[in-house]
Structure 1
Amino acid sequence: MQIDKIENFPTFKKVRKNWDYVYAADTHAHFFLSWVLLSGLLPMVHEPWLILAAKPDTHEPSDYVAFFPLKLTLKKQHGGGFAPQLCMAGNSLDYTGIICLPEYEEEVIPAFATYIQQQLVWSSFELKNILETDTRMALFLRSFSRDSFDFSQIRIHNEGEDTDNYIAPYVSLPDDWNQYLQNYVSSNTRQKIRRFFRKIETSDEFYLTQVDADNLQSHIEILLKFWESRWRKQKGNECDVIINSVRAICLHCFKHNCLYLPVLWQGDRPLGAIANFVDVERKSMLFVITGRDRSWNNPPPGLILHAEAIRYAIKNGFKVYDFLRGNEEYKYSFGPKERHIQHIVVKYKNPQKKPLDVRTLPLAFNLTVKEHQANQITKAEQGYRQILEVDSNHPEALYGLGVLMRQKGNYQTAENLLKNLLQVQPNSIKALFSLGNLYQTQGQSSQAIEAYNQVLTLEPDAIAAYNNLGYALQQQGKWEQAIACYQKALKVKPNCVEADVNLGNALHAQGKLSPDKQAHYAQLNYKLGLARTKAGDLQTAEVYLQKALELNPNCGEVYKSLAEIYKRQQNFKDAEAAY
């Protein structure tokens, strides 16, 4: 069996006809594995994705007989760095799995497992939300040797919730709506549905609108507004991600004629909305999301909207109404059965350190930068080095590690990294600027001046370069040139506090600062010292705080801040003196 990788959207688009054929033939396929839905989902997947595509091993041209959507991601290691992880491409949605022509199942599925072990780089493989037959799961998992791999079945419950998201209720629909009411729901629910439907059908006050091109945007926003009002407090910032994803996938599905999204109204007031995916091929309707006015219960919007969706599905010959994951109590009012999805993790028993897949480097870099910004220096260093093991000329990793090495006081290593970056990007302004800062930290003012002048050649209005150049000139006693640099920085940006402070300090050194101005600049130096302390730049912070004391020796808060810096530097003698 030949296994190919589909790793970009243009290639994925080319296999649509082939994909649709396999999807139609696979009786175990579900809508989340349809080409239509994946074509909307994959552009929203932030991690690198790939699709394994299998075709018979023959000399004759042939179509693919199976597809397996996956994605590459990273798992943070306790001591820093990342372990490559393989996941299901659609695990942000409700179901994942494989599609395959039935006659090739026994050959294809072990071939996928073998390819994953031999050709893909991973330490753990997370099969999350997988909905497959026992036969397929057995074929797949037994291809992983028990001597080499550990297997675990995961069951995660959201804190504070009783819902079991590994249960997926669904209704096998009859051919007739009245038959459904008679045989699937309780007499109480049946009476409610009939009563409320009569109320809607005979009233000018209540009515339902179906989604169309004219009301698409408004229907979606009504739905999302109701949903947000229910979940914003609980889900926090995650709410925005979900809202944007649902909006995008609803627009996509409407474009492909597979969205059912009615709104229930009382006059001009929306009472609730529901979004369902419509899978014509599988004759199924899948409940995605609902929202309602929680101050309104008569008639109850949720009951009406689900009942109307089921009635619509039966009328159009659908065979399944799928509530998807979660065994919430209200779903059982509609007479569902249950099916179970799985969450299995496969791990190497003795994992070797594995290089990152080059496609995961952007993800690794973003995670590393966050660690660096959080001052998790050891972890950030591991991340940068792991990236450079794969791409030794990665510009951002060279820069990030160079800055980090300067923070650690490893000046020679920092210099080498920044010079390596300049070999890759000779006109890198931030590399030249950082190199200038590095030289300045070491008291090498001539080299610093040269680096800052190179920056200004490339970017004549670089305020920070003028400011730092002025400071380097100041260190050489070239006061007039230094003052000119500070003034140039302030001309470009009049509210540049650092340039203003340095100008004041330079004027004070020449005896050109009035007592009132001394008090003003003492306070500015103090504030900058606090800011640099917070940023972790203790060396620069100390300079500003010392200058604040020089301008105003009676400021007790400055002594206290200096003492804190000395304590962090484990310079307890000076800390005690400052206190």
Structure 2
Amino acid sequence: MLIDVIDDFEIFQDIKKDWDCVYQADSQAQFFLSWIWFSGWLEMLTQPWLILAAKPEIPGASYVAFFPLKLVLIQKDEGEFDTELWMAGSSMADYTGFICLPGYEEEVIPAFSAYIQQHLVWSNFNLQNILETDTRMLLLLRSFSGENLRFINRHIEQEEDNIDNHIAPYVSLTDDWEQYLQNQVSANTRQKIRRLLRQVENSDEFYITHVNAENVESHIEILLKFWKLKWSEKKGDQCEVIIAFVRAILLHCFENNCLYLPVLWEGNRPLGAIANLVDVTQKSMLFYITGRDETVKNLPPGLILHAHAIRYAIQNGFKIYDFLRGNEQYKYYFGAKERRIQYFIAQYQDCQENKLDVRTLAAAFELTVEKHRANEFSVAEQGYRQILATQSNHPEALYGLGVLMRQKGEYHTAENLLKSLLEVQPNSIKALFGLGNLYQTQGELSKAITAYNQVLTLQPDAIAAYNNLGYSLQQQGQWEDAIACYEKALKLKPDCIEAEINLANALYAQGKLSKDKHAHYAAMNYDLATKCQELGDIKTAIVYYQQSIAMNPNLAEAQSNLNNLALVLQAQTLHETASTCDQKALSLT
């Protein structure tokens, strides 16, 4: 059995025919594994996803099974990343699993298991929301092997309202509405349903509307408004995120003719709404989300709308009305029976090396840069090194770690990393700029000047390179050339504060800065020194504090800060700190 990995949405679209064929033939398939569901959900996923697609080793063979998965990146406090494997539908799908043509299970399941263990990088595999009737998932788990692999059967119960989300009530529908009422609900419920439906249907005041092209957006917003009123406090910051996902999902389902969304009205006032997902292939209707006006006391909108939906389902030949997860009491009024949801975790007790799945590198790099910019150097270093352990020629990680090593004072390591980046990208402006900063810090001004000139050859409008080149030239006493660089930087960016200050300082050193500007530029030097101090760049802060005092000896605060920093620098024997240029250079990533 061949296993292909599909992780591109366009390729996913190309396999629709095979997917639909498998789905229609699979008796254990359910809506959250349908093409319609995933064609909407995959585009919403922020995590990397992949689909394992199995087919016989025969030329021209079609796919016979599909297993949707996603990769979730977890960062530990010390900075190390773990990759967790999850079912792709997790978080918004009440059921997960895989689909398979009948008769291929014995070949497909070992093939899926082997691929997951041998070719995917993960520490935990979360098999969440598995229906107890899905016997194939248990077979999949049993096919996993390894002494350092253990399995956890997880159960979560919502304690505050005692709702068990590992129970999924459902109603087996009969062929006739009256038969359903007679045989599957209590006499009291039967009487209430009949009375309430008659009250709505025979009333000029109450009525039910159904979703269509003209009202789909307004119907969805009515539902979501009611839902938000009930759940916003409990869901907190996640409330708007959930609403955005649900809105997009419902619109997608409507566009694909699988949304049933009735709204109960009293005049112009909506009283409640429910959204059901319609699975014509599996003859099931799934209750997905509801909302109602909690102030209504004389009429139960939920009971009316569910009864209305069940009657519609029976009249249209559906066999299952699925209440999905949660054993709320009202679901049993409709004659619901129970299925259980299972949640297993396959866990490596010793993580697989220090590598990541390549699909997670973009997210890992983004998180690492955040830590770097926050000066959490040890955490950032761990992140960069783990990325490079996975992909040794990762350009951004080579650069980021090179900058970080320079900030730590490990100049030789920093130089090697930046040179490695130049081997990967010979014209890397970031690598050349980083080397320029490194050489400037070490006092190797000729090398720094060469590096900055290489940057400017490749990018003639690189403002930071002109500013830094000017500073290196100034250190060599090449005042006119330095001033020309500062002026060029200011021509490109008139509000470049550093270039303006450096130009003023150069003119001051030559006695060319008018005295009436001394106090002004003393204050600017002081402000820049303070910013460098806040960034932890002590050496540069000292230089600008010294300049501010030279221009205005009455700046007592500058003298005080200078004295304090001199003591700090004196005690700092093991490491040197970063320059402001590094912070700017890092932002280029």
TM-score where L is the length of structure 1:
0.86
Q: Which moved more, 1:267-276 or 1:248-257?
A: 267-276
Mapping of residues 209-220 of structure 1, within 5 Å:
209-220=209-220
Answer whether contact 2:130 2:137 (CA < 8 A) is retained.
Answer: no
Amino acid in structure 1 at the alignment position of 2:449: I
> Shift in Å at residue 259 of structure 1?
1.4
Write out aligned runs for 1:121-160 (5 A): 121-133=121-133, 135-145=135-145, 147-156=147-156
Matched residue, 1:419: 419
Q: Which residue is equivalent to 2:67?
A: 68
In terms of mean alpha carbon deviation, does 5-14 or 340-349 score higher?
5-14
Alignment partner, residue 97 of structure 2: 97
> Are 1:357 and 2:357 an aligned pair?
yes
Secondary structure in structure 2 of the residue aligned to 1:356: coil
Q: Deviations over 1:316-357 (max 9, x none)?
A: 222222222233455455443332212211123444415333
Q: Write the distance in 2 (CA, Å) between the matches of 1:511 and 1:160.
A: 76
Q: Which residue of 1 aligns with 2:248?
A: 248
Partners in 2 of 1:286 and 1:123 — Cα distance?
33
C-alpha deviation, 1:315, in angstroms: 2.6
User: How far did residue 292 of structure 1 move?
Assistant: 4.0
Tell me how far apart the structure 2 counterparts of residues 101 and 351 of structure 1 sit (CA, whole Å): 34
Of 513-522 and 105-114, deviating more is: 513-522
Return 5+ residue gaps in structure 2 as ranges.
574-589
Deviation per CA, 1:215-249, whole angstroms, max 9, x where unpaired?
Answer: 33333344344444544554455344433332332
For residues 332 and 449 of structure 1, the distance between their equivalents in structure 2, rounded to whole angstroms, comes to: 78
1:30 corresponding residue in structure 2: 30
- Provide the rounded CA distance (Å) in 2 between the counterparts of 1:448 and 1:283: 72
Aligned twin of 1:81:
80
What is aligned with 2:488? Answer: 488
Q: For residues 283 and 482 of structure 1, do their structure 2 counterparts lie closer, same or farther at Cα, with a shift above 3 Å needed?
A: same
Mark the CA change 1:546 to 1:19 in structure 2 (over 3 Å): closer, same or farther: same
Give the conservation status (yes or no) of the 8 Å contact 1:32–1:90.
Answer: yes
1-structure distance, mates of 2:100, 2:481: 74
- Which whole-Å CA distance do the structure 1 matches of 2:267 and 2:547 have between them? 70
The SS at the match of 2:416 is helix
Taking the aligned partners of 2:294 and 2:24, their CA distance within structure 1 comes to: 40
403-412 or 548-557, larger mean C-alpha shift: 548-557
User: Cα gap change, 1:292/1:476 in structure 2, threshold over 3 Å: closer, same or farther?
Assistant: farther
- Cα shift at 1:152: 1.0
- Counterpart CA distance in 1 for 2:532 and 2:525 is 10
| Structure 1 residues 301 and 350, CA gap change in structure 2 (3 angstroms) | same
Distance 1:203 1:445, change over 3 A: farther
Do the aligned partners of 2:149 and 2:347 also contact (CA within 8 Å) in 1? yes
Distance 1:475 1:164, change over 3 A: farther
Output the CA distance in 1 between the equivalents of 2:16 and 2:333. Answer: 38
Distance 1:318 1:396, change over 3 A: same
Q: Name whichever of 134-143 and 93-102 sits farther off.
A: 134-143
Conserved 8 A contact 1:122-1:354: no
- The answer for the alignment partner of 2:19 in structure 1 is 19
Tell me which amino acid in the other structure corresponds to 1:363.
A
Deviations 1:233-269 (A, max 9, x none): 5445534443333233223222221112233444445
Q: Contact 1:84/1:354 (CA < 8 Å) preserved in 2? A: no
TM-score w.r.t. structure 2 length?
0.84
Q: 1:108 to 1:503 in 2, by over 3 A?
A: same
* Match in the other structure for 2:476: 476
- Tell me which residue corresponds to 1:52: 52
Q: Measure, in 1, the Cα distance between the counterparts of 2:557 and 2:155.
A: 54
Q: Say whether residues 1:400 and 2:397 are aligned partners.
A: no
Separation in structure 1 between the aligned mates of residue 336 and residue 321 of structure 2, nearest angstrom: 9
Q: Give 3-state SS (helix, strand or coil) of 1:498's partner.
A: helix
Looking at structure 2, the residues matched to 8 and 356 of structure 1 have their Cα atoms a distance apart, in angstroms, of 19
Distance in 1 of aligned mates of 2:457 and 2:122: 46
Conservation of the 8 A alpha-carbon contact between 1:97 and 1:132: no
Query: How far apart, in 2, do the equivalents of 1:218 and 1:232 lie?
Result: 20
What is the CA-CA distance between 1:401 and the residue it aligns to? 1.2
Report what 2:440 is aligned to: 440
Query: What does residue 370 of structure 1 align with?
Result: 370
| One-letter amino acid matched to 1:69 | P
Task: Name the structure 2 match of 1:321.
Answer: 321
Q: Which moved more, 1:396-405 or 1:175-184?
A: 175-184
Write the distance in 2 (CA, Å) between the matches of 1:308 and 1:178: 13
- In the alignment, is the contact (CA less than 8 A) between 1:82 and 1:364 conserved in 2? yes
| Unaligned stretches of 5+ residues in structure 1 | 574-579
**Conserved in 1, the CA contact under 8 Å of 2:69 and 2:86?**
yes
Residues 28, 134 of structure 2: 8 Å contact kept: no
Change (3 A) 1:136 1:439: same
Give the Cα separation in 2 of the matches to 1:211 and 1:61: 43
Write out per-residue CA displacement over residues 47-67 of structure 1, whole angstroms, 9 at most, x where no aligned residue. Answer: 33333333456x575444332
Partners in 2 of 1:564 and 1:207 — Cα distance?
77
Task: Spell out the pairing of 1:230-249 with structure 2 (5 A cutoff).
Answer: 230-249=230-249
The Cα shift of 1:96 comes to: 0.9
Q: Is the 8 A contact 2:354 2:386 kept in 1?
A: no
Moved more, 90-99 or 346-355: 346-355
1:453 and 2:453 correspond: yes
**Partners in 1 of 2:561 and 2:183 — Cα distance?**
76
Partner Cα distance (1:522, 1:179) in 2: 91
Q: Does the Cα contact within 8 Å between 1:566 and 1:572 map onto a contact in 2?
A: no
CA displacement, residues 186-225 of structure 1 (integer Å, 9 cap, x when unaligned): 6676666555544543445543332222333333344344
Q: Secondary structure at the match of 2:275?
A: strand
Distance 1:4 1:543, change over 3 A: same
2-side partners of 1:210 and 1:339: how far apart?
A: 30
1:258 and 1:247 map into 2 onto residues whose CA distance is 14
Counterpart AA for 2:414 = A
User: What SS class does the counterpart of residue 490 from structure 1 fall into?
Assistant: helix
Change (3 A) 1:507 1:56: closer
In 2, Cα distance between equivalents of 1:304 and 1:516: 83
Is the alpha carbon distance of 1:490 and 1:146 closer, same or farther for their aligned partners in structure 2, counting shifts above 3 Å? closer
Given the superposition, is the C-alpha separation of residues 262 and 478 from structure 1 closer, same or farther in structure 2, using an over 3 Å criterion?
A: farther
Change (3 A) 1:524 1:171: farther
The residue that corresponds to 2:170 in the other structure is 170
Matched-pair contact (CA < 8 Å) for 2:151–2:347? yes
Comparing 251-260 with 170-179, greater Cα deviation is found at: 170-179
1:31 CA drift (Å): 0.8
The Cα of 1:97 is off from its aligned counterpart by: 0.8
Which residue of the partner structure matches residue 576 of structure 1?
Answer: none
What corresponds to 2:285 in structure 1?
285
User: Aligned in 2, Cα 1:560/1:301: closer, same or farther, shift over 3 Å?
Assistant: farther
CA distance in 2, matches of 1:560, 1:304: 76
* Cα distance in 2, alignment partners of residues 526 and 327 from structure 1: 66
Q: Is 1:497 matched up with 2:497?
A: yes
SS of 1:341's partner is strand
CA contact (8 A) 2:172 2:321 kept: yes
Distance change (3 Å), C-alpha of 1:306 and 1:542: farther
Structure 1 pair 490/157, CA: closer, same or farther in 2 (3 Å)? farther
